[in-house]
Amino acid sequence: MSQAMRADDLGQLIDALLKRSTLSELGLTLGCLGVAWLLVRLVRGADTHEDSIWFGQRIVDGVFFPLLALLLALGVRWGLIMQGLPAALFKLVVPILVSLAVIRLTVRVLRSAFPTSQLMRVVERSVSWVAWLGMVLWVTGLLPLILKELDDISWKIGSTQISVRNLIEGTVTAVLVLMLVLWLSAALESRLLKGATDNISIRKMAANALRALLLFVGLMFALSAAGIDLTALGVLGGALGVGIGFGLQKLAANYISGFVILAERSMRIGDMVKVDTFEGRITDITTRYTVIRALNGRESIVPNEMMITQRVENSSLADPKVALTTMVQVAYGTDLDALMPELSAAVAAVPRVLDEPMPAVQLSNFAADGLELTIAFWIGDPDKGQGNVRSEVNLALLRKLTQAGVEIPFPQRVLHQAAGAALEAARPASTPPTPATGPTPAP
């Protein structure tokens, strides 16, 4: 790309754009865009993945289209200059395609790395405005003048002379480097986790470690490009160590615990766990927290340190089978020897109940109102819920008891009353007491 135009070249550019040769340059520009669109379509094929950074959803909203169009435009421009033909329109086309490529790269990478973040939408709009403003300043020839003025505004920090221009250029370089690092880490993470059915925890740990390493390397390159002496980071590293020892120890503990969980595979993505009365399936394990989704749709974000220091019930670690129980009462005098095998067979007929181990019916208690039976059965898919299968088992038991004519007793109480109290209660309340008879005492 050529140097930015000077301010006095703007008039010459406008005069060149008004010539008839501009129409042929416009045709070449449209040809470059058409060839780029066709090549992107052929390369993409049937791939319509929404998260594709290269291709996007509609061919033109990915990174590949503006980059390919830019390369074709540069090639056509170079050919026109070599033949001595005018190329005034390409002085506008090339900066526009550069700005479009930067915007597409930023938008696609941020949406792929942070799909639900609202802050990233603000960053996308900010980058778009900055890119288009830089293009306008480049075309109008004001950019060199503004950069020269910004270079004159400087100050000294220690032995390093820093200007506003250095900060702006360093910031732009840092953003581009971090975008490339996020892009590369997202692509590698997607490749590691794509189609993974086993060792998914190890793959997730490798993806997290790879992203952290790439971000660290990218940050070092960005700081170096900004003109910051990396030897000064030794003091920053010491301060960071003190901060971790005091204020950031919980954060560091969560990060270390996350790598420990992924490395030892005590809990894996997809396991059914119970942590502090919250039960659900692990849907994600990051370096700082673990996401557990309950069967009712609620999600709990649990710090990784809690997963290490507290007791965690893992229903899927060794055996996914889970034992459940339910109870029913039958009347005294019921023939349990004949009834219990029938109840066991009725429970075994429920679809989700396992045949091995077989359901068991036990006489667990002589209750006040009847004989209490406990029915134990096993299921192999606790992730599908426990209340629904328990309801199906209870319905099967009710149908079997109704079919066998077995009574489910209601609460009964027997009251005993003393004989004297019974006679007193039976006497009518309106009858006056009988007076005593006998001789009248002498005065």
Q: Domain-by-domain residue ranges, the chain?
A: 1-152, 243-314, 322-404
pLDDT at residue number 7:
47
220 contacts 230 by C-beta, under 8 angstroms? yes
Calculate mean pLDDT across residues 116-128.
Answer: 72
156 contacts 227 by C-beta, under 8 angstroms? no
Digit-coded pLDDT (tens) for 37-65: 888 778 776 555 555 666 766 666 677 77
Closest to 359 measured CA to CA, from 378, 336, 342: 378
**Any idea which architecture 243-314 has in CATH?**
Roll (2.30)
Element (H, E) at 25: helix 21-44
Q: Which two tokens stand for residue 87?
A: 């190329």
Question: How far is it, in rounded angstroms, from Cα 126 to Cα 108?
Answer: 14
Confidence of residue 160 (pLDDT cuts 50, 70, 90): low
Q: Look at strands 154-157 and 322-330 and give their pairing.
A: unpaired
Q: Does domain 322-404 have CATH number 3.30.70.100?
A: yes
Backbone phi and psi for residue 74, each to the nearest 5 degrees, phi listed first: -65, -40
Closest to 88 measured CA to CA, from 198, 6, 9: 9
Alpha-carbon radius of gyration of the chain: 40
10 Å CB burial of residue 38 (0-12, 13-18, 19+) is: exposed
Mean pLDDT, the chain, as a whole number? 76
**Residue scoring higher pLDDT (133 or 14):** 133
Closest to 286 measured CA to CA, from 219, 218, 215, 212: 212
Calculate mean pLDDT across residues 156-166.
Answer: 72
Calculate mean pLDDT across residues 291-319.
Answer: 83
14 contacts 89 by C-beta, under 8 angstroms? no
Residue 17 pLDDT > 90: no
Do domains 243-314 and 322-404 share one topology? The answer is no
Confidence of residue 269 (pLDDT cuts 50, 70, 90): confident
HSE-CB at 98 with a 13 A cutoff on CA atoms is 19
Element (H, E) at 164: helix 164-193
pLDDT at residue number 91:
75
Q: Which two tokens stand for residue 169?
A: 């250029």
Digit-coded pLDDT (tens) for 394-442: 999 999 999 988 888 877 667 777 766 656 666 665 555 555 555 555 4
Q: Look at strands 299-303 and 322-330 and give their pairing.
A: unpaired
pLDDT at residue number 375:
92
Confidence of residue 443 (pLDDT cuts 50, 70, 90): very low
